[in-house]
Amino acid sequence: MSSYKNLLTAQAGGVLTVTINRPDKLNALSIETVGDLTAAFGAARDDASVRAIVLTGAGEKAFVAGADISEFGGLTPVTAKEFSIRGNALISLIENLGKPVIACINGYALGGGCELALGCTLRVAGDKAVLGQPEIALGIMPGFGGSQRLVRICGKARAMELCLLGDRVPAQRAFELGIVNFVWKQDELRAQTAALAERLANSAPIAVKYILEAVNRGAECSLEESLAYESHLFALCFATQDMREGTKAFLEKRKPQFKGA
């Protein structure tokens, strides 16, 4: 049972599903919701039984339609910066969780919702989903890392286009831009996402963690530094029982049973 006011959580095997549950607000990210998500992902990070996480929104209209604009009127420059810092901390937590997180984009993923998805390991979308950074229409800019992660994901020119024009991008276009990994039919989205999450949950947890670290670090370092780090992590894999189980299973032509050790 979920102990969060704005979230539903459910675990099946090694897969934890976190659902933002504010469908009447199109799952908008209120200050309280950011706090709930931070607590939920902190708990998932520390729970060895959780090997993969699916993040989605309640209902069929929205993943997260953006920040809760009704709270903006009470923000000063100081409190707005604090809100941005808290949002960035949440998304960095997700990005560096050490476990794969799939954003299951079931509808609108705009503003803070798009930024939340950008921090996930993989992004999958229903064919009716819409993504975008429309903050410019409010006289503001992205505040949860959108301008920075879009540069890294789809390049400077596209980041400028998406942030300056604020256009809403359909799922297929987001796929073409490299923002979304897979686009599935809306009525197949949740089942396909569950299958993908189970596949990740059955992978060797230590190797998964090292891959996440290597890719994230490599995006920020020189090629020489990142190759050296990859070699270091590759060597550490050979100290694990999972490596021995994986190679043995391959030679015996059976599925490996990874224990995360």
Residues assigned a catalytic role: 115, 135
d(CA 222, CA 127): 37
Using a 10 angstrom Cβ sphere, with 0-12 exposed, 13-18 middle and 19 or more buried, the burial of residue 187 is exposed
Pairing of strands 7-12, 62-64: unpaired
- What CA dihedral angle connects 210, 184, 41 and 67, to 10 degrees? 130
E strand residue ranges, the chain? 7-12, 15-20, 52-57, 62-64, 101-105, 108-110, 122-126, 130-132, 169-170, 182-184
d(CA 260, CA 237): 11
CB atoms within 10 A of CB 6: 22
d(CA 79, CA 84): 9
User: What is residue 125's three-state secondary structure?
Assistant: strand
- What CA dihedral angle connects 67, 71, 75 and 78, to 10 degrees? -50
